[in-house]
Structure 1
Amino acid sequence: MEQLTLFATQYKYIMDTSSILSQKPGEPHTRLVYKSQWENIEHYMKEKVIVTCSEIVDEIKDKDIISWLNIQQCDVLDIDDEVQMNVRRIVTDNPKMIEFTGKSGTSSGDAFLIATAMKYGLAVITEENPDKPTKIPQICKKYGLQVMNITKLCEVEGWKF
């Protein structure tokens, strides 16, 4: 059952591991180059506009990135019954989304990310390949969810650098 709150949430976006990690040196959106972009993202995290979910945080093994998320006071949305029901639907509809082969590039966190986005009506931010059928962008489109990478987020929000 959904808990009632006095204030509407400001949640607008949910961020995937690939986008969170893209700030690291050598990555496409390295903080070393895109400092003001990350300052805008941090502001949105503090304002509860950008959030993530617990399964995504569990995927992140980098202690510095976990510390960064905590410093930003990024809301980490928990998994509840509604999210679990959404996950079951997603995995049933898209069984190849999760592979337990030990290969890199597969993630059980993806289904939870999408399921959480479904519950809250959030746009998903991910750096995953938009053309691969088992990746977040294509799965999101199946469920009518808006999906974008960080560059598109900057365009949508009108951030100019």
Structure 2
Amino acid sequence: MKIQPAVKTETGKIALGTGIGVLVMFLVFFVLHMVVPQDAPFNLAVPFDYKVILGGICGFLVAVGNFFWMAITVQKVASMDDEKQARSTMGVSYRYRTLLQLLWVILAIVVPVFNLVAGIVPLFIPSLVIKLRGIISAGKGG
């Protein structure tokens, strides 16, 4: 199956938006790391180290990969004639994509080279990008 240009374009836009979101997350981590004292009570110091960077990069890859997989599935389903098979294909894709994200969350929690928060936050960014693009395009009348 050939990947349609719309899938490439939309995935690129999501990747760009998610990348910007991850960079903003890194900036927030850095600012909080500089502002919150290292000896904060209840161990609330905010780290900014390789774990944050690795978590953000891997979270970005999982988030964009999930969107791309969804877009490929939608492309495949759109070309199907059998509605029952199309629904089944979409359901299976959704299940596996959710399991992939759950696996990543578990890895981000268990594997000590990842920062938990930095690994999970990127999973929410594509949804925010889609909503922001919808709000912006509605404001333009398109």
TM superposition score category, shorter chain reference? under 0.3
Between Structure 1 and Structure 2, which shows a larger proportion of strand residues?
Answer: 1
Query: Larger RCO: Structure 1 or Structure 2 (Cα < 8 Å, ≥ 6 residues apart)?
Result: 2
Q: Please, what TM-score do these two structures have when normalized by structure 2?
A: 0.27
Q: Please, what TM-score do these two structures have when normalized by structure 1?
A: 0.25
Between Structure 1 and Structure 2, which shows a larger proportion of helix residues?
Answer: 2
Which structure's CA Rg is the greater one? 2
